[in-house]
Amino acid sequence: MNKVTLTAFIKKRAIEFGFDAVGIARAEFLEDYAPILENWLDKGYHGKMTYMENHFDKRLDPRKLEPGTKSIIVLLHNYFPEQTQPDDTYKISKYAYGKDYHFILKNKMRKLVAEIQEKTGEFQYRIFTDSAPVLERQWAQRAGLGWIGKNSLLLQPRKGSFYFIAEILTDLELEYDTPATFDRCGRCTRCINACPTEAILPDRTINASQCISYLTIELKDEILPAEFENRMNDWIFGCDVCQDVCPWNRNPLPHNEPDFRPHPDLLSLTKKDWENLTLPVFNELFRKSAVKRTGFKGLMRNIGFVNNAD
């Protein structure tokens, strides 16, 4: 099978497996992003995520992460829910409503790889989704899937940003898509203006140490910084503010993945329900969920911090 036919087969089957978009980028050194990443780290915008300081070279060149890599297959998967939480309760990011996307997307990618191998025989590959030093948004842009917005998220024309990004690094030679060089944010600053903690800077930089997602998930301190009292806007796991206000997310289409649907009781929880949450109920609501990342103790820390500030 020649690379044109193989590329078409991969894209067709990826869509049939439930992915919403597929692009392919040539594996190479991200020379233009190196000074941006270095500056971001030097300014300490990564907060206490010290792991971001590791594997600098591998982040910029996937061939150092997985020697022999020639192509990066980038896949997008919608996670916008059909129904969302009411406004008068504590909120979790929409990506965490259902089962942990790491397992769901990796399972789909393994099936896709198995079908590719039926056509090509064994080949070298590794699969990732937010689980390794891979600059996912940069590769999605290189694969022609969209541009990186002022809120640092990948934006697709007419589709928005409520999409997971996943990758297959492979030694297969494939047809490469044209990188997206357009930027359709224009003069819009809605995400910058709406960020409750002013984490989105005017120069398209995110000070992650001020981001609510960082504070509620990545930061492991027993108490959240007092400077963020009254600024969390009831978010207790992640934050969707910059996406919710984005004009490109004006009419998001809901996903059709059963595993991303929330537990039947999740959307009906009141603030009192959240405050009285027990470990058994937590385990039931968030079985195989990304919310397990912060744990019961971390979630209750977040609820207590937000509640005390109200």
Active site residues: 130
* Residue 160 β-bridge partners: 156
- What is the biggest distance separating any 2 CA atoms in the chain, rounded to whole angstroms? 62
Q: What is the DSSP letter of 253?
A: P
- CA 287/CA 68 separation, integer angstroms: 37
**CB-CB neighbours of 26 under 10 Å:** 15
Torsion sign over Cα 242, 243, 245, 248: positive
b/e map of 214-242 (b: 16 or more CB within 10 Å)? bbbbbbeeeebeeebeebbebbbbbbbbb
Dig out the tokens for 110 from the structure: 């393994």
- CA 281/CA 264 separation, integer angstroms: 13
- CA 112/CA 133 separation, integer angstroms: 22
Q: What is the dihedral of CA 18, 124, 25, 15, to 10 degrees?
A: -10
